[in-house]
């Protein structure tokens, strides 16, 4: 759907929604048609931020958004007048749309993977980086779950680092970075307290994670 400058100004001036969110609602059909007149169609949509409905005026075929009106604007003859029942319908179809969208996002997250890397730092300087492989995004729900994933590597690396601790010129710390496989955006950043990790990995093999 195309946008007119007037349409953008009316979205911004008469709703608290982002322009792209209004366009997405209309394009997905999450609206209630009030009817057509003189080459225009009038669509009622629900604005969550405003907790109220608005009317989108679009060209027939929904190819262009012309304007956005308040729900109590006077409409041409033959167009449905907005009442509480129509507002509720607009609310319901938008809620259904957002629910489907959230479920789709959740399914995509379950299928996506995170690249997990373990860093050993001396002060601000990285002295060791170890790629630990990939973890399903859905499994990275907490720092504990992430640390459990890298614990086998930590149990090998910690003793080696500690054996050379005497040469360190700054405090040593461990960090785990999880980034999305394709976008490379950070999903989780876990800092591990050095003393606690040393005690629990080297002495009794249990796991500790702090964020």
DSSP string, 111-176: H-EEEEEEEEEETTEEEEEEEEEEEEGGG-SSHHHHHHHHHHHHHHHHHHHHHTGGG-SS-EEEEE
Q: Over 70: is that where the pLDDT of 52 sits?
A: yes
Q: What is the pLDDT of residue 204?
A: 38
**Is the pLDDT higher at 155 or at 42?**
42
What are the tens digits of pLDDT across the range 73-128?
999 999 999 999 999 999 999 999 999 988 887 776 666 778 888 888 888 888 88
**Is the pLDDT higher at 202 or at 180?**
180
Q: What is the pLDDT of residue 71?
A: 95
* Mean pLDDT within 194-200: 60
Q: What is the pLDDT of residue 83?
A: 95
Proportion of the chain above pLDDT 90, given as a percent:
44
Q: What is the pLDDT of residue 155?
A: 80
**Cα separation of 67 and 80, whole Å?**
18
CA-nearest of 155, 161, 152, 156 to 201 is: 155
SS3 36: strand
């Amino acid at each position: 759907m195309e946008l007119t400058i007037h349409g953008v100004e009316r979205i911004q001036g008469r709703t608290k929604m982002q322009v792209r969110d209004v366009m997405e609602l209309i394009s997905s059909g999450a609206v209630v048609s009030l009817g057509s007149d003189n080459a225009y169609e009038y669509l009622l949509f629900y604005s969550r931020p405003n907790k109220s409905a608005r009317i989108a005026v679009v060209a027939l075929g929904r190819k262009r958004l012309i304007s956005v009106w308040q729900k109590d604007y006077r409409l041409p003859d033959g167009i449905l007048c907005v009442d509480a029942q129509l507002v509720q319908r607009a609310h319901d179809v938008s809620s259904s749309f957002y629910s489907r969208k959230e479920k789709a996002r959740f399914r995509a997250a379950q299928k996506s993977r995170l690249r997990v890397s373990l860093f050993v730092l001396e002060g601000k300087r990285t002295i060791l980086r170890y790629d630990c492989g990939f973890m399903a995004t859905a499994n990275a729900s907490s720092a504990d779950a992430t640390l459990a994933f890298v614990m086998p590597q930590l149990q090998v690396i910690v003793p080696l680092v500690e054996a050379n601790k005497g040469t360190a010129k700054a405090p040593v710390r461990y960090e785990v970075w999880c980034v999305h496989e394709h976008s490379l955006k950070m999903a989780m950043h876990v800092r591990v307290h050095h003393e606690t990790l040393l005690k629990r990995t080297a002495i009794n093999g249990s796991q500790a994670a702090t964020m």
